[in-house]
Amino acid sequence: MINKEVKSALEACQGIKSGMTLMLGGFGLCGIPENCISALVEMKVNDLTCISNNAGVDDFGLGLLLKQRQIKKMISSYVGENDEFERQMLSGELEVDLIPQGSLAERCRAGGAGIPAFFTPAGYGTEVGEGKEVREFNGKPHILEQALLADFAIVKAWKGDTAGNLIYKGTARNFNPPMAMAGKITIAEVEELVQPGELDPNHVHTPGIFVQRIFKGQKFEKRIEQRTVITKDH
């Protein structure tokens, strides 16, 4: 097997430069590559275009990069869970491209799958469809959407092996698999890193071919954004 293990987030992020386009997995704060985000904060690269479904909160996730003004442009489906984001967006410092969530996921997958463009009904007749080619299929109008690719895709998985095979847990999977496919270089941070042969080959979600670097994250805070519980008394 091809060994892709690196020792740290900083080593994994080597080569990420100011002005690059990054994809970052996660939905809200769930399944985000915390360790690589910390490394990017430390590396102080800026002018980044970040493709990520959300933009974190003020003191966690991509909010940490926003605070240091490292992000030039966000490509997301839902943002603004943090004040600094809102301030930068309203002041025009931050460019924001909003994309329907399903189109965002599919555009990443398409990028990784060598499909340069596809038709989808989502966004037709709205400002998302403006300027895009419209075509009817089965009597229903669709718009043509283009694939997305990134210089680096950064994903977070539960378990991985040194050959880059990844298994995610629960809904922390989300955007990680399609984005893992779409990085020119894909970095995976995992909670548990094992040797090839220790993961069941039937149960791997992201085949190692899509991953160029993998490391065991030093620390996972896994912050919860909306803690909703029922009390046992009920």
- List contacts with its own copies (CB under 8 A): 106, 110, 113-121, 135, 137-138, 142, 167-170, 201-203
Decide which of its own copies, another protein, none touches 5; Cβ closer than 5 to 8 Å per partner kind: none
Interface segment toward another protein; rule CB under 8 A; list 15-23, 39-47, 58-66, 192-200: 192-200
6 closest CA partner among 215, 152, 217, 209: 215
C-alpha–C-alpha distance, residues 234 and 219, integer Å: 35
Instruction: Give the pairing type, strands 150-161 and 21-24.
Output: parallel
Decide which of another protein, its own copies, none touches 167; Cβ closer than 5 to 8 Å per partner kind: its own copies
Site for another protein in 58-97 (CB under 8 A): 76-81, 86, 89-90, 96
CA 120 vs CA 29, 131, 140, 182, 228: distances in Å: 28, 15, 10, 19, 34
> Is position 9 an interface residue for another protein (rule: CB under 8 A)?
no
Distance of closest approach, residue 12 Cβ to its own copies, in angstroms: 24
Find the binder of another protein among 1, 117, 134, 144 (CB under 8 A).
Answer: 1
C-alpha–C-alpha distance, residues 145 and 132, integer Å: 8
Copy the structure tokens of residue 230.
């029922």
> Is position 102 an interface residue for another protein (rule: CB under 8 A)?
yes
For residue 32, the tally of other CB atoms under 10 A from its CB is 32
Decide which of its own copies, another protein, none touches 117; Cβ closer than 5 to 8 Å per partner kind: its own copies
Judged by beta carbon, residue 36 or residue 208, the one nearer another protein is 208
73 closest CA partner among 34, 44, 47: 47
Query: Which residues share a beta bridge with 98?
Result: 76
Interface segment toward another protein; rule CB under 8 A; list 8-16, 34-42, 61-69, 176-184: 176-184
Backbone angles phi, psi at 75, to 5 degrees: -115, 110
Say how many residues touch another protein, by CB under 8 A. Answer: 83
Residue with tokens 């966004």: 123
Contact between 75 and 104 under an 8 Å Cβ cutoff? The reply is yes
Site for another protein in 137-166 (CB under 8 A): 158, 161-163, 165
Amino acid at the residue 156:
K
Site for another protein in 202-221 (CB under 8 A): 202, 204-205, 207-210
Judged by beta carbon, residue 18 or residue 171, the one nearer another protein is 171
C-alpha–C-alpha distance, residues 210 and 146, integer Å: 20
Decide which of another protein, its own copies, none touches 3; Cβ closer than 5 to 8 Å per partner kind: another protein
